[in-house]
Chains A and B, each alone.
Chain A
Amino acid sequence: MKLIRLLAAMAAGAATLVLPGRRPGRLRRDRTLAALRLAVRGGARYAAGAPRLFAAAGEQRQLLREDLALQTAEDVAGTLGAMKGVMMKIGQLASYVDDGLSPAVRHTLARLQDSVPPMSPRLAAAVVAEELGAPPERAFARWDPRPIAAASIGQVHRAVTLDGRAVAVKVQYPGIAETIAADLRNVALLRRMLRIAAPAQDIDALLNEVRDRIGEELDYRREAATPMGEAEAAWRARRQAATA
């Protein structure tokens, strides 16, 4: 599938530490499930620019609208809950599909992407603290509180790890993984949406594609099971030493 290769190629191009956005303070803290993914390329310096590849065309969203930033998990749920996060992802996938979408649907999906502002620095820091057990200023040697790019269901921050590596940290909106997983289970409504969005397409194939692609992205445990990057190993070693 063209779609998958394209996205995979993008993912490989950036140094990323992915933080699943659990609802701060709600789920138990389980470091082994923190599911970090760090794919630092040899010699990577400050990864400015590269993470922008994660943002699909037209997906710069409201990065400059800090006044509209999502401040609470409730803000996130209001913006991305009730199928909207799934639709946004469909819009993102659809931006790689050349035909089959009406201009009106394309416009609606693009507007939906535009409607998602970044997390406030405070909310992003709360997600980091929840996942890493320490606020970003302590979990990293340097942490840029302002996101440099919108990720699909999160945003990307620049940081320097405690052992001096420049990384881009992808922080997921809190609580959104559970919501999207629940929304993906409503197959009847997904079919309806896809029939509205792309009536000419093979709906079953499209549905599988959407569920696979989005499901994959939410599944950080599976990502964590792949060989860890050396930087992540180093981070874990330091972390263990620090807590021993």
Chain B
Amino acid sequence: MTDTADLYATATGLIERSAAGYASGVPEDAADDGLFGPASVTWRMSADLASPVAGLRSMLMQALHPLVMAGVDQHSGWRRDPAGRLAATMTYLTTVTFGDRAAATRAAARVRRIHDHVRGTDAVTGRPYAAGDPALLLWVHGALVASVLAAGSLVGTALSAADSNRYVAEMVTAAELTGVPRPLVPSSVPELDLYIASVRPALRCTPAAAESMAYLLDPPGMDEEVAEIWRDVRDAAIAALPRWARQMYGYGAPPPLTPSRRTEIRQSLGVLDAMFLGQPGVLEARQRITLRMRGGRPG
């Protein structure tokens, strides 16, 4: 066994760099309301306290696809710069959500160009992969959308059935932007459930998945007290996973989420959110969003 701390860079700067990505993704002068608009469920959910839980659950789900994981593992350089990798994702998601159409389209074109070079062969399954493969992009998309709903209903804002369906339908555009043909993308909760069930036989916890997720669940280099707070995020993300996904990773059954435990997790999320808010530009970015959601002028 090697010491993981030697293999990977530390998570130092995770909050700072994610925050910088977020602040830069919320435009000061938007030419239009973007792909979703201030009245969308997508905008509402992106501000949810459960977002870190959704993000972590999302990565746990995405990593279970061997070809998705192989692409990330062999190309993204996350070991050298994990904070940079996460910050890039944060910037992208924020730009696609809150940016105007031109900004969202530019960001997506940039990601598609990067994906063009991400090809290889997965050592575990022996299968070739390409990051631009709609099947892989769709899994990344479906895992994210399902995770926002699952994390919200567990520790954040639980959406009504109608709003859940609306969210899944709104997000079809996000998948299309990355290169998935629109007709392939689930556009309701039942379709999303069916889709995830259909992919499940192909999923497994490869060594790369186990390794990278162990890193995320307990990032080295975090301040001890912050690490304690992160533990609540991790517990919530694992609790929000489907049972079969937990079993693939070998996580035990989570303790029941009592109301008081849920409150504790939300309190930890509030502290994390305050740290995020303390970063340059984040408060102003949120105020820009609030004003637009209230129908005020952008910026």
Contacts and interface: CB of A to CB of B under 8 A. Distances in A.
A196 B274 CA distance: 13
Interface stretch (A1-9, A106-114, A134-142): A106-114
Contacts of B114: none
A114 B229 CA distance: 24
Contacts of B277: 108, 111-112, 115
Interface in A53-103: 65, 67-68, 78, 81-84, 87
Interface majority SS on A: helix, strand, loop or mixed? helix
Interface stretch (B80-88, B117-125, B167-175, B260-268): B260-268
B226 interface: yes
A189 B264 contact: yes
A67 B294 contact: yes
A82 B228 contact: no
A112 to B, nearest CB: 5
Contact of A82 (B47, B266, B278, B283): B266
Nearest to A192: B225
A196 B270 contact: no
A84 B228 contact: no
A193 interface: yes
Nearest to B232: A189
Contacts of A68: 287, 290-291
A182 interface: yes
A196 B222 CA distance: 12
B116 to A, nearest CB: 40
Interface majority SS on B: helix, strand, loop or mixed? helix
Given A82-B266, A82-B269, A87-B271, A189 B229 contact: yes
A108 B49 contact: no
Interface in B272-292: 273-275, 277-278, 283, 286-287, 290-291
A182 B277 CA distance: 22
A221 interface: no
A161 B287 CA distance: 36
Contacts of B266: 81-82
A195 interface: yes
B120 to A, nearest CB: 41
Contact of A189 (B49, B268, B283): B268
A82 B270 contact: yes
Contact of B296 (A67, A108, A114): A67
A137 B278 CA distance: 39
A195 B223 CA distance: 11
Given A111-B277, A115-B283, A82 B267 contact: yes
Nearest to B223: A196
A186 interface: yes
A183 interface: yes
Interface in A100-156: 104, 107-109, 111-112, 114-115
A84 B274 contact: yes
Given A111-B277, A186-B264, A82 B290 contact: no
B100 to A, nearest CB: 21
Contact of B270 (A84, A107, A108, A192): A84
A28 B263 CA distance: 24
A107 B278 contact: yes
Contacts of A83: 267-268, 270-271, 274
Given A67-B296, A68-B290, A114 B283 contact: yes
B273 A82 contact: yes
Given A82-B266, A82-B270, 18 more contacts: A78-B47, A82-B273, A83-B267, A87-B274, A104-B278, A109-B278, A112-B277, A112-B278, A114-B283, A115-B283, A182-B263, A189-B264, A189-B271, A192-B228, A192-B229, A192-B271, A196-B225, A196-B226
- The 5 A-B pairs of least Cβ separation, nearest first, read A82-B270, A108-B278, A83-B270, A192-B225, A83-B267
Interface of B: 47, 49, 223, 225-226, 228-229, 263-264, 266-271, 273-275, 277-278, 283, 286-287, 290-291, 294, 296
22 contacts: A65-B287, A67-B291, A67-B294, A67-B296, A78-B49, A82-B273, A83-B271, A87-B271, A104-B278, A108-B277, A108-B278, A109-B278, A111-B278, A111-B283, A112-B274, A115-B277, A115-B286, A186-B267, A189-B229, A189-B264, A189-B268, A196-B226
